[in-house]
Structure 1
């Protein structure tokens, strides 16, 4: 879904995702735009109204927004545009498995699935990672089903999808530098764990 013209798109673009799907790369690419600001997880430390107080002409990439969907609906609704950034679900789960003791996956394993480690100690880690990916994806899809301004993007087709995003929001800037960012793996996970 991406039917609106750039004149119809609201002046805040919120990128929703599971994480481990190119959100850092997308934010860095968007950082080369001259008529939009862009950031990655810039307000994660804030609470109350400040948490979702994004400035005009701003693109925010933040996987934790999937836990604020009720507040997004209330505070922004169709006054924001939404991008659902995805990647092959199994690749996302495998990447999370290599980072299981960090960030949002650690919180999901230890706190959201309260008592799971104790009650199901033999559950394979990858099953929990797949469950996280499925849960967050379903949350995002349910939220976006009722939104007016939605665009789908995939890590596997990010270069083409980035050009569609640029057209959709009427973005300008150093598009050569922006596209070069898309060729760099930012915040990548190695086969044995997080890269430094």
Structure 2
């Protein structure tokens, strides 16, 4: 594969995305960031510099535009974690963040208004929806790899080799050994 190529890490959130972005920050062959353009609209939202690794769970809602802008010219990582662990992590957060946006904006608050769904059920639905969006988007892509929070220490060196990365892999692994952005207990 010819690199540096832009790399987009697609994920649900609550699966080690902050940790992976920090680990990638130790690479000298690529720039890396977590949700660096999430506040932008229009073409600027997906206008990443060449050789950039972007880790942003909100990209799952921009897959059509990601296809139009980057398509198969980019490489993609599907970062996962056990879906039940992701749902539980979302459900226990004090600030529901994207889960509240999903409930109120995508589902129009119906589940909350009728009290039919508990927070954990809503989180499970969100995780299943985003995962399906990502899997469908990646099905036709040529440059795809998978990583998981549960095996990130083993996956990171493989990922770095896959993209031909240079930098301090050991420092990246040290980031992975730490908990970043963990949910409140």
TM-score range, shorter chain: over 0.9
**Contact 1:33–1:173 under 8 Å retained in 2:** yes
TM-score by length of 1: 0.91
- The CA distance in 2 between the partners of 1:155 and 1:107, in whole Å, is 24
Report SS of the residue matched to 2:105: helix
The Cα shift of 1:175 comes to 1.3
Q: Which runs of 4+ in 1 moved over 4 A?
A: none
Q: Does 1:18 align with 2:32?
A: no
- Supply the distance in 2 between the matched residues of 1:135 and 1:57 (Cα, whole angstroms): 29
Q: Is the 8 A contact 2:157 2:169 kept in 1?
A: no
Deviation at 1:10, TM superposition (A): 5.8
The answer to whether the 8 Å contact 2:4/2:29 transfers is no
Q: Does 1:61 align with 2:55?
A: yes
- Using the alignment, how far apart are the partners of 1:21 and 1:115 within structure 2? 25
> What is the deviation of 1:43?
0.1
Q: 104, 119, 122: which is aligned to 1:125? A: 119
Which residue is 2:34 aligned to? 40
Q: Which runs of 5+ in 1 are unaligned?
A: 1-6, 192-196
CA RMSD of aligned residues (A): 1.3
Q: Any stretches of 5+ residues in structure 2 without a counterpart? A: none
